[in-house]
Amino acid sequence: MSLIAHLEDILGQKTKDVHYYQTAFNHSSYVNEHPGKGRKNNERLEFLGDSVLELAVSEYLFNLYQDKAEGDLTRLRAQLVREESLAYLARELSFDRYILMGRGEMEHGGNQRNSVLADVFEAFLGATYLDLGYQMVADYIDQLMDQEMDYLINALNKDHKTAFQELAQQQGAVEIDYRIEQQAGPAHDQTFTVGLYLNQQRIATGQGKSRKAAETAAAQRACQCMDEKGNVIQCF
């Protein structure tokens, strides 16, 4: 799938000026190796997208949490717009496949660096803002946060799945399985319930707005069910 077709599928809308989006995926190393033809790197779009993203996320949090104080909203926003969060979103959107980089950068895995992916994500938002307007960006961020916010705040801060695995493996070789047990709600606002099974025995469940968030919640609960030697001491 071409870059533009991929982005139109993500946005659910036709783009108007493809040049904005093409520029958003041009790393400076690529432009340096391919000068001329008016080709530009994505740094200016990244600068613009950074500001648009902060406003859109601020608006989202302001509307979602009616009773939270300024300090709480500020801390939440910082977690959602930090480099690790944006890089995760870029990977989920397969942006790494479309980044144009210089040969040396690409050979050293530059398209997988968090800093590069976060910049491309912001540049994409800057391009969308110029092409389709702020409301399109805000609507898209609302949709993305509805799906991913739980994971961005919880899983990226505390890797509960790894912590549970390490605890469980203290008893030797184990079988760990996460199973979706329920999906409720409309397609755009689903809640997932996941069961965490240790050696075929369900020891915890978790819920979230995405499968990853539900798995993380289940792993967090499972950690609370085990002692420091990996023995199951309580469940449910």
Residue 117's domain is classified under what CATH number?
A: 1.10.1520.10
Q: Closest by alpha carbon to 54, among 70, 72, 22, 76?
A: 76
Q: Quick one: 153 exposed, middle or buried, by C-beta within 10 A (0-12, 13-18, 19+)? A: middle
Q: Are residues 122 and 198 in the same domain?
A: no
Count of structural domains, the chain: 2
| Domain assignment present for 231 | no
- Please state the separation of Cα 61 from the chain's center in Å: 16
Domain of residue 198, residue span: 160-224
Q: Are residues 150 and 34 in the same domain?
A: yes
Q: Are residues 10 and 119 in the same domain?
A: yes
Q: Are residues 52 and 24 in the same domain?
A: yes
The active-site residue, picked from 46, 50, 105, 148, is 50
Last residue of one domain, picked from the residues 99, 128, 154 = 154
How far is Cα 165 from Cα 213, in angstroms, rounded to an integer? 17
Query: Rounded to whole angstroms, what are the CA distances from 118 to 39, 80, 121, 149?
Result: 21, 12, 5, 16
| Domain assignment present for 233 | no
Catalytic annotation on 142? no
Q: Are residues 37 and 127 in the same domain?
A: yes
Q: Are 193 and 187 in contact (CB under 8 A)?
A: no
| Domain assignment present for 25 | yes
**Tens digits of pLDDT across the chain (236 residues):** 899 999 999 999 999 999 999 999 999 999 998 887 778 999 999 999 999 999 999 999 999 999 999 988 998 999 899 888 999 999 999 999 999 999 988 888 888 888 999 999 999 999 999 999 999 999 999 999 999 998 888 756 557 788 788 788 877 888 999 999 999 888 777 899 999 999 999 999 999 888 888 898 898 888 877 776 677 776 65
Q: Are residues 171 and 141 in the same domain?
A: no
Q: Are residues 32 and 126 in the same domain?
A: yes
Last residue of one domain, picked from the residues 154, 171, 191 = 154
| Domain assignment present for 30 | yes
Q: Are residues 147 and 168 in the same domain?
A: no
- Note the pLDDT of residue 223: 81
Catalytic annotation on 50? yes
Last residue of one domain, picked from the residues 105, 135, 154 = 154
How far is Cα 184 from Cα 162, in angstroms, rounded to an integer? 27
Q: Are residues 188 and 204 in the same domain?
A: yes
Q: Are residues 119 and 214 in the same domain?
A: no
Q: Are residues 57 and 168 in the same domain?
A: no
Q: Quick one: 102 exposed, middle or buried, by C-beta within 10 A (0-12, 13-18, 19+)? A: middle
| Domain assignment present for 230 | no
| Domain assignment present for 31 | yes
The active-site residue, picked from 122, 131, 150, 215, is 122
Q: Are residues 173 and 140 in the same domain?
A: no
- Note the pLDDT of residue 157: 55
Q: Are 60 and 134 in contact (CB under 8 A)?
A: no
Query: Could you tell me the CATH number of the domain that includes residue 195?
Result: 3.30.160.20
| Domain assignment present for 60 | yes
How far is Cα 57 from Cα 98, in angstroms, rounded to an integer? 25
| Domain assignment present for 232 | no
